[in-house]
């Protein structure tokens, strides 16, 4: 009798396992990058995640019956070059959530991607051609890097005649101030017969601490340790709120695809600290991306893109070329070439300089980079 009782938990576990699954997945990506001007010098560098981020994760699904499922995702980012966690000091810094999926949609709770990542990335130059180097204006829209938001409640609708949408809310958790560090957004897309239309909106309260990782909120007239070094918008991140709104389209036909994406980014009620005493009260940016790619063969892809970005007092023009060769369904080689030209006066009040995402600012108006890498997905 005792032996029979001892095996009951094992039998129950076997039954549960038959109704659920856990998947290990990830990607490793290492690249060699040449840049023409970082602080006035050329550079050769190895780079982690040259085409997209290095990551590994666990994805679990349990069938609860009646088309209702319990789901979870735990996803960790890291540097293939150093092994360090990305973001730093995190275990599952990319995603960590649990939720339910059913006929009425999906509800997820935990650390998740932003609306700009969910809806902008598939239409972007970064995803189609240039990787992180193509992120607009140092990733000012958050579609590439600062797109991981903590404490999120997200709802996604079912797909209805090709349309679905979602909304998210991240509570700041500050007693007595509901708006402090609050992040919310919504978006939607329509897909049918090769055409995808998408739009999204994000509102980040106190962006310095809620998304950019500052250790303390900016205070008027006081010293502020700014975590952002990109001069294109560094002096604006002390804003009380940052808004990102935009949308675009992608059309796939035959072996070709073309995509257009527009972003409007606003920094509102900018706090003037010791580091940005002359900052304007508000600052608005507009970014336009046009991308085209063509599959020469099932293995070979080539693409090109042009970005035009309008910032307060300055302009940025970015052109890129990219190609990839698939060695298998999960491994490919890639190459990227990109050039940026800046003009006008940047957020720091100095003559605008080029600054491609992931590189140090140029000492002049132009900056170029060439990147070759290998990416494997599992």
**Segment 259-310, tens digit of pLDDT:** 999 999 999 999 999 999 999 999 999 999 999 999 999 999 999 999 999 9
User: What is the average pLDDT across 145-167?
Assistant: 93
144 pLDDT above the threshold of 90: no
Q: Are 290 and 326 in contact (CB under 8 A)?
A: no
Q: Which CATH number is 28-377 given?
A: 2.40.160.10
Residue bearing tokens 């309008």: 310
For tokens 């060695």, the residue is: 327
Query: Which helix or strand (DSSP H or E) is residue 120 part of?
Result: helix 115-120
User: Who contacts 264 (Cβ-Cβ below 8 Å, separation ≥6)?
Assistant: 243, 244, 245, 246, 284, 285, 286
pTM above 0.85, yes or no: yes
Q: What is each CA distance from 269 to 45, 217, 329, in whole angstroms?
A: 38, 14, 48
- Looking at every residue in the chain, the average pLDDT score rounds to 92
Every domain of the chain and the residues it spans: 28-377
């Amino acid at each position: 009798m005792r032996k029979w009782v001892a095996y009951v938990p094992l039998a129950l576990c076997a039954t549960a396992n038959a109704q659920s699954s856990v998947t290990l997945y990830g990607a490793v990506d290492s690249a060699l990058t040449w840049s023409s001007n970082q602080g006035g010098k050329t550079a050769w560098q190895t780079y982690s995640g040259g085409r997209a981020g290095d990551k590994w994760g666990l994805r679990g699904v349990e069938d609860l019956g009646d088309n209702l499922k319990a789901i979870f995702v735990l996803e960790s980012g890291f540097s293939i070059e150093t092994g360090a966690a990305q973001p730093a000091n995190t275990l599952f810094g990319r995603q960590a959530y649990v939720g339910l999926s059913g006929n009425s949609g999906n509800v997820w709770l935990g650390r998740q991607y932003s609306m700009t990542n969910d809806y902008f990335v598939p239409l972007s130059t970064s995803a189609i051609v240039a990787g992180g180097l193509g992120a607009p204006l140092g990733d000012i829209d958050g579609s590439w890097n600062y797109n991981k938001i903590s404490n999120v409640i997200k709802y996604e609708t079912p797909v209805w005649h090709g349309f679905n949408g979602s909304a998210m809310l991240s509570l700041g958790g500050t007693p007595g101030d509901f708006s402090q560090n609050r992040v919310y957004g919504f978006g939607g897309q329509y897909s049918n017969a090769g055409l995808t239309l998408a739009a999204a909106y994000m509102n980040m309260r106190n962006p310095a601490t809620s998304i950019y990782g500052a250790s303390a909120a900016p205070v008027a007239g006081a010293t502020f340790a700014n975590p952002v070094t990109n001069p294109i918008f560094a002096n604006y991140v002390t804003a009380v709120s940052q808004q990102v709104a935009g949308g675009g389209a992608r059309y796939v036909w035959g072996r070709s695809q073309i995509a257009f994406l527009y972003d409007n980014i606003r920094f509102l009620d900018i706090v003037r600290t010791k580091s940005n005493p002359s900052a304007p009260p508000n600052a608005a940016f507009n970014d336009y991306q046009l991308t085209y790619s063509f599959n020469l063969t099932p293995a070979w892809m080539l693409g090109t893109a042009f970005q035009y970005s309008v910032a307060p007092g300055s302009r940025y023009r970015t052109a890129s070329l990219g190609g990839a060769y698939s060695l298998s369904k999960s491994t490919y080689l890639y190459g990227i070439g990109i050039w940026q030209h800046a003009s006008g006066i940047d957020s720091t009040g100095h003559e605008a300089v080029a600054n491609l995402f992931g590189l140090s600012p140029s000492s002049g108006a132009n900056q170029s980079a060439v990147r070759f890498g290998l990416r494997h997905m599992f």
